[in-house]
Amino acid sequence: MSGAAAKEPHVPVMLAECLAALEVQQGRWYIDGTFGAGGHSQAILEAGGSVLAIDQDPGARAFAERLNISKGSEFIFLQQNFRFLDSLAKQSRLAGVAGVLLDLGVSSMQLDMAERGFAFRQDGPLDMRMNPEGPSAAEVVNSYTQDELAAIIYKYGEERYSRRIARKIVEQREKTPFETTGQLAEAIAQAYPPGYRREHPARRSFQALRIYVNDELGALEDALVAAENILADSGKLVVLSYHSLEDRIVKHFIRNSSYLKAESKKPLLASDSEITENPRARSAKLRVARKLSEAKT
**For binding to ligand SAM (CB under 6 A), which residues are involved?**
10, 12, 34, 36-40, 54-57, 60, 81-83, 103, 105-107, 130, 219
Nearest-CB residue for ligand SAM? 36
The dihedral through the CA atoms of 195, 198, 201, 207 has a sign that is: negative
The string of DSSP codes covering the chain is: --GGG-SSPPPPTTHHHHHHHHT--TT-EEEES--TTSHHHHHHHHTT-EEEEE-S-TTHHHHHHT----TT--EEEE-S-GGGHHHHHHHTT-S-EEEEEEE-S--HHHHH-GGG---SSS--BS---SSS-S--HHHHHHHS-HHHHHHHHHHHH--TTHHHHHHHHHHHHHHS---BHHHHHHHHHHHS-GGG-SS-TTHHHHHHHHHHHTTHHHHHHHHHHHHHHHEEEEEEEEEEE-SHHHHHHHHHHHHH-SSEEES-SSPB---HHHHHH-GGGGG-EEEEEEE-SS---
Compare residues 106 and 152 and give the one whose CB is closer to ligand SAM: 106
Compare residues 14 and 153 and give the one whose CB is closer to ligand SAM: 14
Compare residues 194 and 279 and give the one whose CB is closer to ligand SAM: 279
Compare residues 81 and 183 and give the one whose CB is closer to ligand SAM: 81
The nearest distance, CB 295 to ligand SAM, in angstroms, is 28
The nearest distance, CB 137 to ligand SAM, in angstroms, is 15
The nearest distance, CB 40 to ligand SAM, in angstroms, is 4
Compare residues 53 and 149 and give the one whose CB is closer to ligand SAM: 53
The nearest distance, CB 233 to ligand SAM, in angstroms, is 26
Compare residues 10 and 287 and give the one whose CB is closer to ligand SAM: 10
The nearest distance, CB 81 to ligand SAM, in angstroms, is 4
The nearest distance, CB 30 to ligand SAM, in angstroms, is 12
